[in-house]
């Protein structure tokens, strides 16, 4: 039987060695990238981005609020890639999806 004291949830989230800590770090990076892209595009287009993520193959996946905004965001693919590069995130292609 282990005599170690149980860890609190805040310790698990803060630890880079725990699965929960790695998950929290990945979510934080996605959130920071989304904020950066929203600010970089400005209003009103930036507010159309609901979520974003970069897949392992380098595809930036942007989720738009509705089909109209998705269409407009597709025209900004090159700017989104440039913003990713300025953020330090490697992305080679953009896919825009509509929030379900």
Tens digits of pLDDT across the chain (100 residues): 556 777 676 666 666 677 787 888 888 888 999 999 999 999 999 999 999 999 999 999 999 999 999 999 999 999 999 999 999 999 999 999 999 8
Exposure class string for 71-100: b at 16+ Cβ within 10 A, else e = eebeebbeebbebbeebebebeebebeeee
Chain centroid to Cα 32, Å, comes to: 7
In this predicted structure, what is the pLDDT of residue 24?
80
In this predicted structure, what is the pLDDT of residue 20?
80
In this predicted structure, what is the pLDDT of residue 2?
58
Looking at the domain covering 9-98, what would its CATH class be?
alpha beta
In this predicted structure, what is the pLDDT of residue 15?
67
pTM over 0.75: yes
d(CA 12, CA 89): 26
């Amino acid at each position: 039987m282990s005599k170690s004291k149980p860890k609190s949830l805040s310790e698990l989230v803060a630890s880079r060695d725990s699965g929960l800590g790695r998950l929290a770090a990945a979510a934080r990076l996605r959130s920071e990238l989304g904020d950066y892209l929203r600010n970089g595009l400005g209003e009103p287009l930036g507010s159309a981005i609901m979520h974003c993520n970069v897949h392992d193959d380098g595809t930036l996946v942007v989720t738009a609020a509705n089909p109209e905004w998705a269409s407009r965001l597709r025209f900004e693919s090159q700017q989104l890639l440039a913003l990713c590069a300025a953020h330090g995130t490697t992305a080679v292609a953009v896919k825009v999806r509509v929030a379900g």
